[in-house]
Structure 1
Amino acid sequence: MTDWKPITEVELWDKIMEAEGRMSPRVFRFWEAVRIVPEKWREAAFGEMDGGFWVVAIIGRKAIWYNDIEDGFNCSSYYVVGTLAEYWCNQDGLEIAVQNLLSTIDTGLDTVPRLGPPVTGPYQSK
């Protein structure tokens, strides 16, 4: 991970604007309702480097944020504003993360598969 560099706010805005162009009208309207000006939030497991992860949307106890270690957007719970309660490493575009959250609201079911953090220990091959 020596080559890793945190995403800048300008680079994040580029990703946001590109994703907005890919959103359906319905998803874009929802996005407009939940989006915030990006701000850095802490996360205990991996979010201490460079001041945390960029949160870009909030609704209820859910936050959409950008994981610049894995290069993708995720939706996590939070209990205290400014601190993500879960680490995920999905590599979704923002439009996918927003659509997934909207689907959860529509159906009442959170069926989005999430990729967890790295597991320590030796690699287990088949």
Structure 2
Amino acid sequence: MIHSTENDLHGDFLNFWDLIRIDPEKWVEEEYGNEGGGFWVVALIGRKVIYYNDIEEGFNISNYTIYGTIDDYVCNQDDLQCAMMNLFGLITFGGRIIGQAGPPVNL
């Protein structure tokens, strides 16, 4: 899934991915992650991670406070490119995921 996504990325999105991606690491998530020994984190920036949720079979963005521990469980079932672009949107569109309800974003 990771290699397939990387092949589809270009320009700013590929540069962004190259900056945030890490070799996949299993991280702890205490609500639902114990069953499979955690979830695979594939990217991080600041206090945000992108991880693969094998229960829901999708990628998600969550916060982390302690390296190695995902703070909150999310089950969006996004593909990696969607999760990466949402994280990019959090940075470039004022802290809101693209398509998320809320006040207008001033660009």
Please name the residue that 1:108 is paired with: 94
Identity in percent: 47
TM value normalised by structure 2: 0.87
From the superposition, tell whether residues 113 and 91 of structure 1 become closer, same or farther in structure 2 (CA, over 3 Å). Answer: farther
Is 1:58–2:58 an aligned residue pair?
A: no
Which stretches in structure 1 are left out of the alignment for 5+ residues?
1-14, 115-126
Moved more, 104-113 or 56-65: 104-113
Q: SS where residue 3 of structure 2 aligns?
A: helix
Aligned equivalent of 1:71, options 57, 80, 93: 57
CA distance in 2, matches of 1:26, 1:34: 12
Shift of 1:113: 7.0
Name the structure 1 match of 2:11: 25
List runs of 5+ in structure 2 lacking aligned partners.
101-107
Q: Which residue of 2 aligns with 1:99?
A: 85
Q: Count the aligned residue pairs.
A: 100
Determine the C-alpha separation between the residues in 1 that align with 2:99 and 2:24.
24
Measure the CA separation in 2 of the matches of 1:72 and 1:28. 20
Q: Distance in 1 between matches of 2:31 and 2:83?
A: 21
Would you say the 8 A contact 2:87–2:97 is kept in 1?
no
Match of 1:44 in 2: 30
TM-score (norm 1): 0.74
CA 1:42–1:113: 2 relative to 1, 3 Å: farther
Question: Greater helix share, 1 or 2?
Answer: 1
Q: Identify the range of structure 1 (70-79 vs 23-32) with the bigger mean alpha-carbon deviation.
A: 23-32
**CA offset at residue 24 of structure 1?**
3.3
SS in 2 for 1:50: coil
What do you get for the CA RMSD once the two structures are aligned? 1.5
Q: Which runs of 4+ in 1 moved over 4 A?
A: none
